[in-house]
């Protein structure tokens, strides 16, 4: 199971769903469905075509995996490629339910399969090229965000430790 300290959470890849009565439940479930399809398709393409680490978890809810399993640059690459695809509005299937031509058919988890449209494959290639051409920038930003996340986690833990047991803590 993946470790989930604040600086290692990637809500654009996966968010733990709240209680089903929570007003955000359906929104987060829809986001997890789309983001999960993007993650699974991009991971498959990156592992097969770009020799990305097979240690990248297959299930998006397990990203980034266990501590030390992936390097920071491997995590940054997956997060960057995923973010580029998400920002550009890609859906791996492009609405297709059956593969044709150069499309892929991949495991979508839970015994299901998903069509990955050729245009999405090309978009993953372009996103990997964008990451690669600016890897130092992406990696520096990722390191900065990790450090900021650790500060926030440390501040929250210090605040909790300083509060009396009966005090209410808001974050």
Structure confidence by residue, pLDDT tens digits, 114-141: 999 999 999 999 999 999 999 999 999 9
Asked whether the CA dihedral 133, 87, 13, 48 is positive or negative, the reply is: negative
Six token digits for residue 162: 């300083």
Count of alpha carbons within 13 angstroms of residue 20, beta-carbon side: 0
Low-confidence ranges of the chain (pLDDT < 70): 1-8, 152-171
Q: Would you call the peptide bond into 64 cis, given omega within 30 degrees of 0 as the criterion?
A: yes
Six token digits for residue 104: 């892929």
């Amino acid at each position: 199971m993946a470790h989930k300290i604040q600086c290692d959470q990637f809500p654009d890849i996966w968010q733990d769903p709240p209680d089903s009565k929570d007003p955000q439940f359906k929104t987060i479930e829809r986001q997890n469905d789309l983001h999960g399809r993007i993650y699974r398709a991009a991971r498959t393409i990156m592992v097969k075509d770009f020799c990305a680490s097979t240690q990248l978890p297959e299930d998006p809810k397990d990203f980034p995996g266990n501590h030390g399993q992936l390097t920071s640059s491997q995590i940054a690459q997956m997060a960057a490629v995923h973010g580029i695809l998400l920002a550009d509005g890609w859906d791996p299937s492009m609405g297709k339910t059956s593969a044709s031509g150069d499309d892929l058919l991949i495991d979508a988890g839970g015994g299901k399969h998903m069509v990955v449209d050729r245009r999405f494959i090309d978009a993953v290639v372009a996103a990997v090229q964008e990451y690669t051409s600016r890897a130092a920038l992406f990696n520096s930003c990722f390191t900065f965000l990790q450090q900021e996340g650790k500060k926030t986690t440390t501040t929250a833990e210090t605040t909790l430790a300083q509060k009396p047991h009966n005090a209410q803590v808001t974050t």
